[in-house]
Every structure is written in structure tokens, then in C-alpha cells.
């Protein structure tokens, strides 16, 4: 600003004039006046001025020729210009401070805007979370309502089933009474038949001798003899005496059964369950085996969970769901359900035992849940031409030895009598077995519910050395495995 002001005062001419009157009045200047010489032409006055040196800091404005007073630059003008410059400088400093302050405000405003955007983003995020939480709670409320509806439906169904159970219980009681009456009628008919045979002067029909071995402690907390109908309180409703389900004695064989859908291995066929175990199958279940000379493969249950596994189950009884009172052909080929009650078949058992040296394990379970066993260190059958004669080794176990008395006996069914009794043991004991006359065990007999049963003949699933002849086992399994 100062430079621009001084530039205005610069003149194009380099000459300048000095106000002599002003200079004469200056206190520092010395005026020297000379007298005119005699006879000389009067001369003009000449003045010599001594001006103190001053440091020129700005442009000097000089004008050519005459200049008026109004065009002169005075000290006042310079002072005024300086005051103006100072004022403008102060204003510029003030403006600079204002600009600095405004810049800081602008930066703060930018930061505030940035924080505002971040806050808006956070608020939006919180809003979405809140919205999701509300939706989730609403869904939970819907699920809770659905669960309450299910509970109500289940309660209703439970009440309906309870009512149905009471109805079935009443029907069962009525059926039990009917069966008891029928047992009385059957006894009367048997006596009448005996009278008829007596009139014809034929020897009366006599049953086989009863099992004389009676253990000191029967493995149930019930009287020695009970009614013919036993009821298991742990079940919804029990089975009747001698009740059997499943095919008739002349129905299809084991190979014709429908393939089960659980615990089944499609690999194989194996020679036996020990070979299946050696192939890496350590889970008990259904497997396909094919003995060396068998014409077709067989389905069996392999027990891999006891005594190091590798046991091939050849007989299983557990709930009376399969009828074991069958003819020779059925016992030869096999019958039942692999994952339930079944008989592998005499021919299959014979071919299995022919491959290697096998041992036999008989597992018995009473109605108190206790399990005992009888093991024989060798086992095999002779061919059909020999009536599938039983060959056993030495006994060991905690169930008692009730099978050795059947050793070297042929197999007997209701239509093929091979026992040593004058009558047919299969007829009296209601099953097929290696009967003697008739024997100390009957593992293919009638499955009686509750253990102790009452019958004219000992036709239950009994093991004489454990429970006696009138105690029917809850579960039985016969298993074979190659000798180690």
C-alpha cells in the first residue's frame, strides 16, 4: 500500500525546484551574501544553501518548471499517508487474525461434520440392530406360540392315549379272563380225550418227565407258581400265555424276510462275523455272510460288543414276537427277523461249523435284568443225514450246565421225531430242539411273560440249572465264534 502511494507521487521529469523562501527560513541553513564589486555591473544575488543529509527511503517527486503550492507534497501529507498505511497495516493484521480464527472455525466445522457423519452412521447401525432385535423377538414370540400350540396338542394326544390305554387295559383284563376260562376248557377237553382213549383201551397220553433240577433261588420275586397269564408292569400291556406272532409253521423262511433298514452293512459277504470284524467292522449289526459251501449268502446279526466280538448269532429270543413252534423245513432253512427274534437255520449252522473249529456261547437274561452265560469250548452239527446231531465240548460259565445232556442228540421238530422219548418232545415242549427224553433245556419253547409260568408241560424257554423248568427266560442268544 505504501509503495503504491509513493508511486503516485513519482514524476516523469528529473528536475526539481526548491522553494527558496522555505529554505531561507530553515534554521540549519547558512546564508552567505556577497557585496557587489566597484565599477562592476550589478549582479544578481546568488545563494548557497547547506542542506543536512537525509536518507531518502522513498521516491522523490520532482516537477519541471513551476509548480503551485497545491501540488507540493508536505510533511503532513507524508504523515497522513504514513498514518493511513499504519491504519491499513493494523487492519490487515486484524483481518489476518480474523482469517486465522475463521480458518480454525472452518477446520472445527469440518471435524464436526465428519463426526456428524460418523454419528449418523452409528445411529443408523444401532437402528438396524434394534430393528433386527425387534424382528428376532417377534420371531421368538411366534416360535413360543407355536411351541405352546405343540404342547397343547401333545397334552391332548397324551390324554387321548391315556384314555385309549385304559380302554386297552380293560380289554386286556377281559381277554385274560377269557384265556383263563379257555385254559379250564382245554383241561376239561384233555381229560375227556383221556377218557376216550381209555375206552379204546389204548395207553393214556403221558407227558415227558419233568425237569428235576430246581435251583435254590428262583431269579424273580414272585411265588413259585403263578397264573398262566403273566403281566409285566413295565409294559403298556403284556402278552398272553403262549401268545405268538409271526408266520405259521409252514410259512416262508429266513431268506424270504424283508431286508431290515437299521445297523445294516452292505459289504461282504464274509465267511463269518469274525472275518467281518477283521475287515474293520467293529459295530454290532446285520451283516451278510456266506459259508464256504453255502449256495447263497445269509443275513446274520454280528455281536461285536462282548468278549472281544466276532460272534455270529445263530438264535435270538427277546419278546415272543416270532413263533418257534415250526416244522422241520422251517428249522432247516431258518426264520424270523434278524434285528429281533430269529433262528439262523440248521443247514446254515452246519455249514458255518464245518469251516473252522467253533465254540458256543449261550447268553441268558432273567426278568430281573440279570445276565448269565454258558460257554462250550467246541461246537458243530453233523449233516442232515444224521439229523443235524449236536456236538459239544467242555462247559464253563455261571449259568450251570444244562446243555451237555443234549450232546450227541439229533434235532426234533413236531413233524420229525428224533428224540429218545416214546412221544414227541417237540409236541410237549412247543418247539424244535436237540431233545433227549426230553431234556434239561428248551430254548426254542414258548416265550412266557413274567418268568414263572404254569403249564401242564414244561414248554417255556427254560434252562434247568438257572430257574428250573417252570421259569421262562426273558431273553436268550446263542452265538458261535472260531476258536482262538
Q: What is the reported pLDDT for 465?
A: 92
pLDDT in tens, 237-266: 333 333 333 333 333 333 333 334 445 666
**Which residue is it, cell 435254590?**
216
Each residue's pLDDT tens digit in the chain (484 positions)? 444 433 444 433 333 334 444 444 444 444 444 445 555 555 556 666 565 555 556 555 555 555 555 556 788 888 888 898 999 999 999 988 888 888 888 888 888 988 888 998 889 999 998 988 899 888 888 888 888 888 988 888 888 888 888 888 888 878 877 876 776 777 777 777 767 766 544 444 566 777 655 555 456 544 333 333 333 333 333 333 333 333 333 333 333 333 344 456 667 789 999 999 999 999 999 999 999 888 899 999 999 999 999 999 999 999 999 999 999 999 999 999 999 999 999 999 999 999 999 999 999 999 999 999 999 999 999 999 999 999 999 999 999 999 999 999 999 999 999 898 888 999 999 999 999 988 899 999 999 998 889 888 889 999 999 988 999 999 999 999 999 8
CA–CA gap between residue 105 and residue 108 (Å, rounded): 5
CA–CA gap between residue 70 and residue 320 (Å, rounded): 145
CA–CA gap between residue 152 and residue 155 (Å, rounded): 5
**Which residue is it, cell 385309549?**
164
Q: How many CA atoms lie within 13 A of 440 on its CB side?
A: 16
pLDDT in tens, 111-162: 898 888 899 888 999 999 898 889 988 888 888 888 888 898 888 888 888 8
Q: What is the reported pLDDT for 237?
A: 30
- DSSP letters spanning 17-61: ---HHHHHT-SS-----PPPPTTSPP---------------S---
What is the sign of the dihedral through the CA atoms of 9, 10, 11 and 15? positive
CA–CA gap between residue 221 and residue 70 (Å, rounded): 148
CA–CA gap between residue 467 and residue 399 (Å, rounded): 10
CA distances from 229 to 58, 441, 472 (A): 141, 22, 13
Residue 227: DSSP 8-state = -
SS3 state of residue 266: coil
Closest CA to 296 of 378, 351, 248, 339: 351
Amino acid at each position: 500500500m505504501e509503495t503504491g502511494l509513493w508511486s503516485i507521487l513519482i514524476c516523469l521529469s528529473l528536475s526539481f525546484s526548491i522553494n527558496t523562501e522555505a529554505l531561507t527560513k530553515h534554521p540549519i541553513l547558512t546564508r552567505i551574501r556577497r557585496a557587489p564589486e566597484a565599477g562592476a555591473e550589478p549582479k544578481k544575488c546568488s545563494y548557497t544553501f547547506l542542506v543536512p543529509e537525509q536518507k531518502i527511503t522513498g521516491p522523490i517527486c520532482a516537477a519541471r518548471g513551476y509548480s503551485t503550492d497545491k501540488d507540493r507534497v508536505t510533511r503532513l501529507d507524508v504523515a497522513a499517508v504514513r498514518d493511513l498505511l499504519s491504519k491499513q497495516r493494523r487492519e490487515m493484521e486484524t483481518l489476518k487474525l480474523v482469517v486465522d480464527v475463521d480458518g480454525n472455525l472452518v477446520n472445527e466445522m469440518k471435524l464436526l461434520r465428519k463426526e456428524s457423519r460418523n454419528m449418523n452412521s452409528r445411529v443408523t447401525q444401532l437402528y438396524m440392530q434394534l430393528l433386527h432385535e425387534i424382528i428376532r423377538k417377534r420371531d421368538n414370540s411366534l416360535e413360543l406360540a407355536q411351541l405352546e400350540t405343540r404342547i397343547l396338542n401333545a397334552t391332548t394326544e397324551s390324554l387321548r392315549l391315556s384314555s385309549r390305554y385304559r380302554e386297552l387295559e380293560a380289554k386286556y383284563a377281559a381277554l385274560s379272563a377269557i384265556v383263563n376260562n379257555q385254559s379250564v376248557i382245554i383241561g376239561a377237553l384233555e381229560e375227556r380225550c383221556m377218557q376216550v382213549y381209555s375206552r379204546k383201551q389204548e395207553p393214556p397220553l403221558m407227558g415227558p418227565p419233568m425237569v428235576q433240577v430246581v435251583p435254590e433261588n428262583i431269579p424273580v420275586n414272585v411265588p413259585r407258581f403263578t397264573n398262566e397269564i403273566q403281566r409285566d408292569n413295565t409294559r403298556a400291556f403284556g402278552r398272553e400265555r403262549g401268545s405268538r406272532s409271526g408266520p405259521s409253521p409252514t410259512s416262508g423262511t429266513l431268506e424270504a424276510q424283508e431286508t431290515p433298514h437299521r445297523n445294516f452293512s452292505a459289504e461282504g459277504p464274509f465267511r463269518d462275523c469274525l472275518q467281518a470284524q477283521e475287515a474293520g467292522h467293529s459295530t454290532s449289526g446285520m451283516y451278510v455272510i456266506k459259508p464256504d459251501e453255502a449256495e447263497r449268502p445269509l443275513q446274520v446279526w454280528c455281536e461285536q460288543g462282548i468278549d472281544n466280538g466276532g460272534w455270529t448269532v445263530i438264535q435270538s429270543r427277546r419278546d415272543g414276537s416270532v413263533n418257534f413252534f415250526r416244522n422241520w423245513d422251517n428249522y432247516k432253512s431258518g426264520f424270523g427277523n434278524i434285528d429281533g427274534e430269529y433262528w439262523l437255520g440248521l443247514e446254515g449252522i452246519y455249514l458255518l461249523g464245518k469251516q473252522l473249529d467253533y465254540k458256543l456261547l449261550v447268553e441268558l437274561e432273567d426278568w430281573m435284568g440279570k445276565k448269565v452265560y454258558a460257554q462250550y469250548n467246541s461246537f458243530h452239527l453233523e449233516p442232515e443225514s444224521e439229523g443235524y446231531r449236536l456236538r459239544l465240548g467242555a462247559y464253563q460259565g455261571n449259568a450251570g450246565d444244562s446243555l451237555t445232556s443234549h450232546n450227541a442228540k439229533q434235532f426234533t421238530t413236531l413233524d420229525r421225531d428224533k428224540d429218545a422219548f416214546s412221544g414227541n418232545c417237540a409236541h410237549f415242549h412247543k418247539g424244535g430242539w436237540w431233545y433227549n427224553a426230553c431234556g434239561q433245556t428248551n430254548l426254542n419253547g414258548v416265550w412266557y411273560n413274567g418268568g414263572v409260568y404254569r403249564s401242564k408241560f414244561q414248554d417255556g424257554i427254560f434252562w434247568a440249572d438257572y430257574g428250573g423248568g417252570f421259569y421262562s427266560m426273558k431273553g436268550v442268544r446263542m452265538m458261535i465264534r472260531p476258536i482262538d
